[in-house]
Structure formats: C-alpha cells, structure tokens
Amino acid sequence: MASAVSPMLVRLTEEKATGVLVRDHGALYLVDGEVVHAESPAAPGLDVLLTASGRLPREGWEEAVAEAGVRREVGRHLVASGRLGCGELEICHLGALFDAAYFALTPCSGPTRFRYGVGHWIGRVRPVPTPVVEREALRRRALLDSIWPHPEIDAAPVVPRAPGPGRGPTRRQATVLALADGVRTPADIARMLGRPAFNTLLDVRRLAAAGLVDTAVRPSGPPPERPALPAWVPEVSDDPDIALLRRLRDALEATL
C-alpha cells in the first residue's frame, strides 16, 4: 500500500497479527490482521453513541459490561439479551470503529507500539480489513482539508462569530454553535451531543469556512483568509449520517 497511513499496520496485516496497536491519538485492536475495534480520546465510544441517542439505557450498557466484559463478549451479550439487534449492533459498532480509527491513524510523532494477544472487552463484532480502514482515514482527512484546510481548529476550543449576510447555520450546525463557548473543543461537543466526532469536525470546519466559528485563542500571525463566498463548501443535508451509513453498509457488504 503505497500511501499507507501506518507502515506497522501494513506489516501486522501481512502477519495476520492479533493484539492492539497503540499510537499517539488512539488504538486499533486486531484479530488475524483485521481491525475489530478502535478507540481514541477524541472520539465518543460506542457506549456514548448508544446511550446518548436513547437507543440503549445507561444501566443496560453497564449491565452488559459487568456481565460479559471479562469474557470479552459485551457485543454478543447485547444481542443475546435482546437489547440490540445483530445488524443494528454491527452498524453502530462500525460507525464507532471508523470514527475512532480516523483519529488513531492521524500522523503522530510518538512511538507506535503493538501488544500481541491483547483483546478488547467488546469482543468481535464485525472485522474490517485494514486497507479499508486506512482508505477511509485518508478519505476523511482529504474531505476535511477540502472544506477548511486549517486542522488546528479540530482540537482547539471554539467560539461562535457573528454571521455575515446569508451565512446562517443549518439546524444541525446550530446545535454545535450553541455549545461553542470558548472552552469546549469539537471532541467535547461531540460527546455532549452523542454524535460521532468526525461528523462534528465536518460541522466545525464548515462553520469556520463560512465565518461562523473560530478558535478561542488565535495563534500569532494573520488569520487565515476566508472565502468571500462559501459556494465551494460542499452542500450537505442537516443529517450527514445518511452518507456515512451508506459507506458503512458498503464496507460491511465488502467483508461478506
């Protein structure tokens, strides 16, 4: 893979390794060289996505972890207990996996380590080939840069700006703006809303491109030039999850 995000991940894939790959911004769990789970401090976990949406009560999640966590079968327990359907769990888990994997595979300067034999308590839900995970990480990075090529906004506290003529936010973006208080980062906002972190970054960068949001502390030097008209910002519906779910469905079908 010429444009590999992580050469070590390529090698582990070829080895069909099982364990956890730990990087600066997250971790990937592998079984036989395929990605079965991903975690990142920047992305809400599967528990947040399920409970914040109201799909699963918090006590239901805690019961599943207490009952099946030691056996690494939390996912299987959620299905067996009737709390989630099998397909529903797979789609939700794929969403959380791709979300965390994007951050885990961002360029890093620290050491990359692999611990053989380490598994995750969620268990094996739907393995994803590592080339699919890497391609999706690259696609997401390119999409964000095409919208607003200033990635420093992704990790900084954000504040709203007064809108110019014709630059109002969508309903979905308005919920993000309501939580932009100069203290919360996009990751904080994603957790509070119970949304995937990448979708929140899309909203934040589109808001930045439209001049509706800025970082709370601006680095020295002139501010980035903003487009006179935001026509080049990709048009999306208020619910970009639809396109995400289609891609996740395609990725799921590709592994069958």
Q: Are 85 and 117 in contact (CB under 8 A)?
A: no
- Mean predicted confidence (pLDDT) in 209-232: 59
Mean pLDDT of the residues in the chain = 86
The answer on pLDDT for 61 being more than 60 is: yes
Which has more pLDDT, 111 or 14?
A: 14
- pLDDT per residue over 19-36, tens digit each? 999 999 999 999 999 999
**Would you state the pLDDT for residue 237?**
36
Sign of the dihedral defined by the CA atoms of residues 247, 251, 252, 256, in that order: positive
Task: Please count the residues of the chain.
Answer: 256
The answer on pLDDT for 194 being more than 70 is: yes
Least Cα distance to 28 among 141, 109, 127, 110 occurs for 127
Least Cα distance to 190 among 19, 66, 45, 9 occurs for 45
**Would you state the pLDDT for residue 53?**
82
CA dihedral 144, 150, 155, 161 (to 10 degrees): -100
Q: Are 29 and 37 in contact (CB under 8 A)?
A: yes
pTM, full prediction: 0.83
The rounded Cα 139 to chain-centroid distance in angstroms is: 13
The answer on pLDDT for 114 being more than 50 is: yes
Other C-beta atoms closer than 10 Å to the C-beta of 17 total 19
The answer on pLDDT for 224 being more than 50 is: no
**Would you state the pLDDT for residue 30?**
98
Q: Are 120 and 37 in contact (CB under 8 A)?
A: yes
Percent of the chain residues topping a pLDDT of 90: 73
Strand partners, 31: 34
